[in-house]
A and B are shown apart, each in its own frame.
Chain A
Amino acid sequence: MTRHLIIFVCAGFILNACVQAPVFKGEDYAYISSSYPIVRVNGEDVEPAYSYDLMAGENTLVIVFHTYLKDYVCTFTWTAKPGVVYEVTDQDHRYPLTLYVWEPTNSYWASRLDPVEPSQCVQNDK
C-alpha cells in the first residue's frame, strides 16, 4: 500500500512537470515551436529549426511539411504578442499545417487556441 502511494505521488510530481511554458528570450519576445522545420523567418533563410524566439509584432515564417511525393512550403503571417507561445502542427486540416496559440490550462494539459491557417502553401514536386 505504501509502495503504491509512493509510486502514485512520484507519478503525480512527474506529470505535474509536463506542462511548462518555455523561458522567453526577453520581455518583447514570443516563442514558437513547430513539428516541422522552420526554414525562413521574416524573409531571411535560417538553418532548419523546430523552435524560435520571435520579436513581438508582425512575423512571417516559412515552414516545410515534407511528404514522399511533394514538399508543402507553408507561409504564416501573424502578429505575435510578447510572452505568448505559438505552436505549429499538422492535424489533417485543409492545409497541411496550422498555427495555434499554446496556453497552459493547468499542470496536466495545455490548450491550442486561435487557429491560424497559412496564407499560402506552395507544393513542390520532389
Chain B
Amino acid sequence: MRSIISISLSLLIVLNSITVAVADVLPGLSSITESNIRDAAIAFVNTTTSPGLEGTVLNVDNNERQSDQWRSSLGFNAEFTLNDYTFNGYWGLKVFGGRLEDKLRFIDDNGQNVQINLTRDVVASSGSLGLSFPINQHFKLRPFLSLIASDLQSKTVFNDQYVIDNDLPSNTFRSRAQMWSGIISLDAVYSRWYGDYQINLLGQYSSIYTQSFSEESAVLDTEAWNDTLVAKFKLTGPTSLSSAGKPWRWNTYANYTNFLSHNKKSLGYQSLLEAGGGMDWQVNIKPLNWFGWEYIGFKAGLIFGDNVRGYSIGLTTR
C-alpha cells in the first residue's frame, strides 16, 4: 500500500415526498403476515445502509399510508495504489442514521378502521474492502465487500379504538434487533473529458445478505437476501468563479436506485430517480498526507419515478 489516490465523502440529507395512487379500499388487517413485517424491517435497514444511496427522507402519503423516512450518512471511500500491481486497492468507512415514522390504516375483522403508528430508528456503521481494476484510462471495474452492523429499534402503537390483546397493559409495543449485513458489490466506472467538460458514469450492483437477531421479537430473528441496482450520471463544466485562488465547477447529475428484491409494500416505494445540479470547489488537499480530497460542494435535486416526487439537498465531497 503506497498512497491513497481518491476519496469520496458524503454528508447528505435528501428530502422528498412520494405520492402513491390512492386506493379506494383499505386493506384488511389480517393481510399483514410475519413475512411482511420481516421484509419491512430489513427493507428499512437496507434502504438506510445500502451502498450508492447517500441519503433520503421519504414521505409516503396515500389513503392507507403516511410515512416519513430520513437517512443520512457520513463516510469516505478511497483507492490506494499497490506498488508493482496493475490493480489498486479500495476501502471505505461509513456511519449511517435513519428513522421511519409510518402510519398505516387497515380494516379489522369487524370492519372497523385500525391505525398503526410505527416508528423505527437505526444506527449503523460499515467497512468496505475491495480491488479496483483499471481497464483503460477511462474505465474501471471495482468489486468490493462491505460489512455493516446495525441496531434497529421499533415502536408500534395501535390506535385507541383497537386493542390487539386485552391482556396487555398498553397498546404500545417496543422491540429491538441487532443486524449485520454482508454486501458484495460491483462498480463499473467510466470517466471521460470533452474539452473542459467531464462525464462520469457509474453502474453498481449489490447483493446483500442480512441476518437479524432479536431477543424481544421472534419475527425479527430472521435472515434475508436482497439486491440493489444503482446508476449514476454526472456532467461537470468550468465556471469563471474562484475562491482562494481555487476554481469552482458546475455539475448536473441523475441518479437511479432500484431496490430490486424489495416488496413495494414494505416501504411504499421500490425505486428512486433523482436529477439535479450543484457546484464543486476544487480544494485539492491531502488530509494526514494520506488521501487526496479534490472537491467539496453542494447539490440540489428533484426526485421522480416509481410514484416518487420530491427534492433533495446535500453536501458532497470527492
Q: Which residues of A contact B (CB under 8 A)?
A: 15, 18-20, 33, 35-37, 48, 50, 65-70, 72, 89-94, 96, 100, 102, 104-105, 108-113
Contacts and interface: CB of A to CB of B under 8 A. Distances in A.
Contacts of B81: 35-36
Given A36-B81, A50-B2, 5 more contacts: A66-B134, A68-B134, A91-B6, A92-B191, A110-B285
Contacts of A94: 193
B197 to A, nearest CB: 10
Top-10 shortest CB links A-B: A18-B288, A67-B134, A94-B193, A109-B287, A19-B289, A112-B284, A110-B286, A35-B81, A66-B86, A92-B191
B207 to A, nearest CB: 24
B86 A68 contact: yes
B153 to A, nearest CB: 26
A7 to B, nearest CB: 17
B2 A111 contact: no
A96 B2 contact: no
A67 B285 contact: no
B289 A91 contact: no
Contacts of A104: 289
A10 to B, nearest CB: 15
Contact of B83 (A18, A50, A111): A50
Nearest to B286: A110
B191 A111 contact: no
Interface in B67-115: 81, 83-84, 86
Contact of A109 (B5, B134, B191, B289): B289
